[in-house]
């Protein structure tokens, strides 16, 4: 634990922590997106998938037991990711409190420039999303145990659809730069495959964000749900 604490306090340790927790989120968003697309198989298939998640491992583990394990892992990963990002920013500012008199011109894309703000926006969206579809406080007609009804009712509201679509735009930017930086933080950085690294980051960010955005748009336009 002492070794980890010393490692984590360093800039390298914080970047590695963000990379590892980023891999956790990477796996989660792929699985979550695939599950959401069950919507197009109909309400029964969608609810069966949600039921399956709650029953994984039963009767060896209690109902929703492994689901709660996954939630705890995600919560711890999120806490570490946010803390590492904030403290790394402060560490970099302390290292150069007066800034540079002259700075070499750099090509910095919108994803990198907005990384901090898309992160905060996604954090706020995660809280809203949990209150919306998990606990129901932010839902106008929440029905426990019927995720299909909850989803189709929610996305009949254009304002809710807009929130989710804009959040997916933020997600695409955050995912792109996060994946690009992840490879570098783990030492997988070489001119021979950096082109493929960029292609992968762009493709993954677009596929995931569009896959998520497709659900509210399809419900709102009547292509699915109802």
Q: What is the pLDDT of residue 142?
A: 94
Residue 70 to residues 15, 66, 161, 197, 213, Cα–Cα distance (Å): 23, 6, 27, 28, 23
Confidence (pTM): 0.83
Q: How far is CA 25 from CA 29, 175, 205, in A?
A: 6, 10, 12
Q: What is the pLDDT of residue 97?
A: 55
Q: Where are the domains of the chain?
A: 2-221
The CATH number that domain 2-221 falls under is 1.20.1300.10
Q: What is the pLDDT of residue 158?
A: 96
pLDDT of residue 181: 80
Look at residue 100 in the predicted model and tell me its pLDDT.
45
Looking at residue 140, what is its pLDDT? 86
Identify the pLDDT of residue 7. Answer: 80
Q: What residue ranges of the chain have pLDDT lower than 50?
A: 99-107
């Amino acid at each position: 634990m002492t070794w980890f604490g010393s490692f984590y306090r360093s800039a390298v340790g914080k970047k590695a922590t963000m990379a590892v927790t980023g891999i956790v989120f990477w796996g989660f968003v792929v699985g979550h997106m695939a599950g959401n697309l069950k919507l197009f198989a109909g309400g029964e298939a969608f609810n069966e998938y949600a039921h399956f998640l709650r029953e994984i491992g039963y009767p060896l583990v209690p109902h929703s037991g492994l689901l709660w394990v996954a939630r705890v892992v995600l919560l711890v990963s999120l806490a570490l990711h946010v803390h590492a990002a904030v403290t790394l920013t402060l560490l970099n500012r302390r290292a150069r409190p007066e800034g540079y008199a002259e700075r070499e011109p750099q090509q910095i894309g919108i994803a990198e420039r907005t990384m901090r703000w898309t992160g905060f926006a996604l954090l706020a969206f995660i809280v809203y999303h949990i209150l919306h579809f998990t606990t129901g406080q932010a839902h106008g007609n929440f029905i426990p145990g019927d995720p299909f009804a909850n989803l189709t009712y929610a996305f009949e509201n254009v304002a809710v659809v807009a929130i989710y679509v804009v959040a997916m735009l933020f997600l695409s930017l955050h995912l792109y730069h996060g994946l690009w930086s992840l490879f570098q933080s783990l030492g997988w950085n070489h001119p021979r495959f950096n082109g493929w690294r960029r292609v992968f980051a762009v493709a993954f960010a677009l596929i995931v964000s569009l896959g998520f955005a497709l659900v509210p748009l399809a419900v709102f336009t009547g292509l699915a749900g109802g």
